[in-house]
Structure formats: C-alpha cells, structure tokens
Amino acid sequence: MAPAPGARAARAVSTRAGAAAVFALLAAVSFAQERQAAAPPGREISFPPSEVKDTFFAYALGIIAGGVDLDVDSAQMRSMFVEFTTAIGVPFDLIKGFSQHTDEDTGDRRIILEFTRDVVIPVPFSLLFYHPGSIIATQRVLFDVHRSTWIDPDVAENAPLREGPVYDLVLTEGSILVDIDDWLEALFSSSLEDAWISHIVFFRWHRDWMGMLVGSGRRTRRVLRAYFDFTRNEIVFPTPPSLARGGRQLVPDTPP
C-alpha cells in the first residue's frame, strides 16, 4: 500500500524535531563564562558563518572545539544570550548550572549540566502547528568528551578538510529521551521510535560540520542515528549511504 499523502514529510519533520531538540539542549550547555571572568568568551571563538550557519551553534561549537574550562549559572547564561539568535528554543530558565573542565593529570574532559528539576519540554519544531513529541531529561546529566580525528573517504586524498577533528560527547550519568508521540510511532513503526540518547558527535562530512545523535530504541533496542548539517542548517534526511557508513565508523553498533 502506498504511504498516505504527507507521510514522508511527517517522518522527515519528526526526525528533525527530535534531533534539533537534543542539539538545542547540547547548545544550551555549551555557552558559558569562567567563574572569575567579567565577560564570556567573545565571538572570536565562534566558527565562521561559512562553516556553521546558525550564530548560536557557531558559538557553541567554538566552545566545544576550544575546550575552554567553564562554570556558569542560569543568570549568567541568560545575560549572555541576549545578542544571540537561533531558530531553536533553548530552556535557559530550567538550567541551574553548567560546567566544563579538563583533568590536568589525565587530560580527560567532562561536561556537567544541572537543571532545576527533571525536564520535559516539547520538541522545538512543529508540524502543522503540532509538536510531535517531547524531550525528557534527568535533573543532572554528565558527558565525557572524547576527542579524535576522522578521514572522510569521500573527499579526495590530499584535498583540504579530508581529515578533521571529532568531538564525541558520551552520556555517562543521567538520561535523555526523545519521546515521539504514539500515533507517529504507530504510523512509522518500521523506522521511528522513542530513543535513549547515548552519544552526541560533531565531525566533518563532505567538508560540512555535522552533528550526529546516537541512541537505542526504547521498544526494539536497535541503534538509531540522526544527522544535522550545521553548515547548511538542516536535517540530513534521508541519510546518504556514505554518511551512514561514516556514522557507524565513529560510533559502532557494537562497541569494540
């Protein structure tokens, strides 16, 4: 039977909603200022618009890539974001504090995000004025930041940006759930379901900065991935085979 009119669009927007909502939470934790500093890092830390189109995420990725040690509370965070714009709503009022620090002895980097309570927010994108699900997160979430490099096999050898950095944020404490509404899960049961997020990964693919969410299906436990192109500021759907292969290389279905 052929899919109902608009089914493909509904699936695409639903995937985009889940991915964008989690990236919004990530971006929220990635903006901060040092406890003793009078001002946050300036825009010189931002990625240029040619690499990351959205002003908000350009700054967020600059913080992540720069590995700046940070400690900020909600009042400081709200004061920082007056001048920044983004298409994605971020729940700053629910954020109690954020810290990012590097262990001087081991070099291990850790991000801790604390909310005022457990969080349940609608996904920030809508379909015909309807929000197709929710993001559910515990009051405290902790990420270990793993840095590595990756070679894009689709880029010609010796070409610029063929090899680039990878920032893998591995959730080690707390939980984040992309909770898709039941009717959408029933409609797209073969490809769409609630997902527990375990990795948030940033890397280059075809020279664009990509974000990849990796999680496990709440119903099937299968590995699920979603991709967002920060250079073009859009969800990547459907996923090209070469990008899917790259995603599996960065975060294998079965850990080594």
Asked whether residue 80 is domain-assigned, the answer is yes
pLDDT, tens only, 49-65: 999 988 767 877 887 88
Asked whether residue 256 is domain-assigned, the answer is no
Mean pLDDT of 16-37: 52
Asked whether residue 109 is domain-assigned, the answer is yes
Could you tell me what percentage of the chain is helix, strand and coil, using 3-state DSSP and rounding each to the nearest 5? 25, 35, 40
Which residues are 143's β-sheet partners?
111, 171
What pLDDT is stored for residue 171 in this prediction?
97
**Where do the DSSP E strands lie in 183-255?**
195-205, 208-217, 223-229, 234-235
What pLDDT is stored for residue 34 in this prediction?
35
* Number of folded domains that form the chain: 1
Asked whether residue 213 is domain-assigned, the answer is yes
Distance from C-alpha of 225 to C-alpha of 241, rounded to nearest angstrom: 13
Whether the ω angle into residue 40 lies within 30 degrees of 0, i.e. cis, is: no
- With a cut of 60, say whether residue 40 has pLDDT above it: no
- With a cut of 70, say whether residue 118 has pLDDT above it: yes
Q: 48 pLDDT band (50/70/90 cuts)?
A: very high
Q: What angle do CA 102, 108, 110 make, to 5 degrees?
A: 65
Provide the percentage of residues in the chain whose pLDDT is more than 90: 33
Mean pLDDT of 31-43: 48
- With a cut of 60, say whether residue 252 has pLDDT above it: yes
Distance from C-alpha of 139 to C-alpha of 116, rounded to nearest angstrom: 7
What pLDDT is stored for residue 174 in this prediction?
97
What pLDDT is stored for residue 199 in this prediction?
96
For the whole model, what pTM was predicted? 0.78
What pLDDT is stored for residue 100 in this prediction?
80
Boundaries of domain holding 157: 7-250
Two tokens, residue 198: 């375990």
Tokens 């944020």 belong to residue? 169
Asked whether residue 70 is domain-assigned, the answer is yes
- With a cut of 50, say whether residue 37 has pLDDT above it: no
pLDDT, tens only, 221-244: 999 998 889 999 887 878 899 999
Asked whether residue 244 is domain-assigned, the answer is yes
Asked whether residue 163 is domain-assigned, the answer is yes
Any idea of the CA torsion for 13, 220, 145, 239, to the nearest 10 degrees? -40
CB contact set of 47 (below 8 Å; sequence gap of 6+): 58, 59, 61, 62, 65, 209
Asked whether residue 96 is domain-assigned, the answer is yes
